[in-house]
A and B are shown apart, each in its own frame.
Chain A
């Protein structure tokens, strides 16, 4: 055994200091938590210009329109589009508007049991196509720009392959198209478990259950460390406000219609049909070579939900010669919410679209 001895007086001194600091932190934290907090999300004004069942179309107008072709943003059916406008100063919508992009955004709403039979076809050839037709009619144009996010990106790829005549430019962000990868834990789980059984049992796939699954992808960080971090910073008002905004977004999880969930898991995660040009939507084969419009493809190097391997293949498979891949050194959400990429993401899209007007 070493000769060194543990200095007990030092331990006691540290403990006393920590106790004092903790007491002060809790006192201040109590003031912050019981005080007035600004935690609203999705605050940028918009008009609802079209509605079909639960699906609404939001219209955001920039002060000065720079691109004549409007951009339709299609979010995933998992979680909500409010992530794109978490707070002033940290908002993709705000940054796109500042860069003169006119935005239409689909709000998928909250599917109920009545929506359980809706398939991917109903979302793509139904709601999405009706929305695109509406925008074209409203703006008196024949084509729009389309931007898809995560699962919404997959829907956008399918839509662009089925209706290439209506899409001028396609922007994909963290979009899974190649499901044959074991890099992300989600891909492994989806392939090796029968999650589709759950949608049968529930009628729809419950959003809370999916969220639990996402938390279990990294329980140490997402279920423990995150909240330890919150307690450590509970005396910081700005931190608390941001934290609560993020919590509001993360746990605002609509259910996914059973038929869509089942089809997505079986055809995409388990059989990887899309990237092989074998996916069929309402009997029609989705041929990626039909995507002849310019494609801009963003993904995150440290994305644990949709790893680069799941995103990067699409630009090689489409029929377009004008494609670009941009890999940010961040995770699945970081592209949209981190301060660093806030400055890069929206301006890059605006410039890319402007060059292809």
Chain B
């Protein structure tokens, strides 16, 4: 199979075109500010020597930023190794594209699974059976979250607010996981309601076909609540439910702890003690009291 590699000349031409375009862009951008602008070649542009400009920190910041861009652009103008540069650019583009494609594929996979599973809901209903419950959509979401999103929340934090940022990220992570489990738990309860409703609908349909009606609406309600109770009793004992309940409780405890840590961090700045501070005091009081009781018993004897 033939492959076409761009020649160095083509690469050089491309680089020249690109740097020219970039220079034009920054010049145009520069024009939008009400500052004097020098002509090309891009270099340091002196700012008006007025007090107004000297005191304005924003102007100084923008000046420095443009200076840095201009310096960088000037470095680009004479491309010493344009071919190598372009190769690297292509690699960066490839990596970015690959990352985007991976994420996209995972998203598509998640969506496909979601659609597949959602379409299964309501396919058929057999009273007092939960075989067709498929909470896999929640597992798919969590898998996607673990693979694609969670890692960004655990990027090492740097600098003075590192601890705070880590607390925020941990809180976000635990919150997402807890709500995914909670939604799954609610979904299971919803499935029991859904099933009971459909069983009753089927029952009513059969009755209507046979020319019968429920004369008293309370009779219909009694049937529904009895069916619902039966469905829930089976659900609440099922392994699926117990697993989800356990995960919800554990993830809720984690979420609550991360939320408390975050709030504890925030209220550190306020003149009020945190739960952690008070817990330490309570523990000391508790231990102290036990010791006092023991000493009292030793001195006074058991009453």
- Which residue numbers of A lie inside 8 Å of B, CB to CB? 1-7, 10-11, 14, 18, 113-114, 116-118, 126, 133, 137, 185, 188-189, 192-195, 197-198, 200-203, 216-221, 224-225, 228, 232
Q: Is the CB of A201 within 8 A of B303?
A: no
B162 to chain A, nearest CB (A): 25
B221 touches A198 (CB 8 A): no
Q: A interface, by DSSP: helix, strand, loop or mixed?
A: helix
Please, how many angstroms separate the alpha-carbon atoms of A126 and B283 in the complex?
17
- Which A residue's beta carbon lies closest to that of B246? A193
Stretch at the interface among B5-13, B14-22, B98-106, B207-215: B207-215
Contact of A4 among B210, B221, B252, B279 (CB under 8 A): B210
Cβ contacts under 8 Å, A14 to chain B: 215-216
B236 touching A118, Cβ below 8 Å: no
CB distance from B133 to the nearest CB of A (A): 17
Contacts of A198 in B (CB 8 A): 249, 252-253
Question: Is B209 a contact of A202 with CB atoms below 8 Å?
Answer: no
The answer to whether A217 and B236 have CB atoms under 8 Å apart is yes
- State whether B232 touches A114 (Cβ < 8 A): no
B116 to chain A, nearest CB (A): 29
- Chain A residues in 8 Å Cβ range of B282: 113-114, 116-117
State in angstroms the CA–CA spacing of A224 and B199 once bound together. 18
Query: Are the C-beta atoms of B246 and A188 separated by less than 8 Å?
Result: no
> Is there contact, CB below 8 Å, between A2 and B236?
no
Chain A residues whose C-beta falls within 8 Å of the C-beta of B217 in the assembled complex: 18
Complex contacts, A221 vs chain B, CB 8 Å: 225, 229
Q: List 23 A-B contacts (CB under 8 A).
A: A1-B209, A4-B211, A4-B212, A6-B211, A14-B215, A113-B275, A113-B279, A117-B282, A185-B237, A188-B237, A189-B245, A192-B242, A194-B249, A194-B253, A197-B253, A198-B252, A200-B257, A217-B236, A220-B228, A221-B225, A228-B221, A228-B225, A232-B218
Complex CA distance for A11 and B260, rounded to whole angstroms:
58
CB <8 Å contact, A114 and B225 = no
A131 to chain B, nearest CB (A): 12
Q: Let me know if A117 and B209 touch, CB within 8 A.
A: no
Verify A113–B278 contact, CB threshold 8 A.
Answer: yes
Is B189's CB under 8 angstroms from A219's CB?
A: yes
Residues of the B chain whose Cβ atoms lie less than 8 Å from the Cβ of A217: 236
Contacts of B275 in A (CB 8 A): 113, 203
Please, how many residues of chain B have a CB less than 8 angstroms from a CB on the other chain? 39
Q: Which residues of A contact B229 (CB under 8 A)?
A: 218, 220-221, 225
Question: How would you classify the secondary structure of chain B's contact residues: helix, strand, loop or mixed?
Answer: helix
**Residue B285 lies at the interface, judged by CB distance under 8 Å to chain A:** yes
The residue on A at minimum CB distance from B243 is A192
Give bound CA distance, A18 to B217, whole Å.
9
Nearest to A224 among chain B residues (CB) is: B225
Contact of B242 among A126, A189, A224 (CB under 8 A): A189
Q: Which residues of A contact B286 (CB under 8 A)?
A: 117-118
Contact A201-B228, Cβ < 8 Å, known A1-B209, A4-B211, A193-B245: no
Q: CB distance B236 to A193 under 8 Å?
A: no
Q: Is the CB of B250 within 8 A of A197?
A: yes
Q: Could you tell me the distance between the alpha carbons of A192 and B252 in the complex, rounded to whole angstroms?
A: 16
A3 to B242, CA, bound (A): 48
A116-B282, A188-B237, A203-B275 known; A193-B213 Cβ under 8 A: no
Q: Which residues of A contact B278 (CB under 8 A)?
A: 113-114
CA distance A66 to B278 in the complex (A): 49
- One of A126, A197, A220 near B249 (C-beta < 8 A): A197
B256 part of interface (Cβ distance < 8 Å): yes
* A117 neighbours in B (Cβ, 8 Å): 282-283, 286
- Distance between Cα atoms of A217 and B229 in the complex (Å): 10
Smallest Cβ-Cβ distance to B286: which chain A residue: A117
Contacts of A11 in B (CB 8 A): 213
Residues of B within 8 A of A10 (CB): 213, 215
> In the complex, A286→B124 CA distance in Å?
55
| Bound-complex Cα distance A194 to B232 (A) | 21
Interface 1/0 per residue, B270-303 and A, CB below 8 Å:
0000010011001101100000010000000001
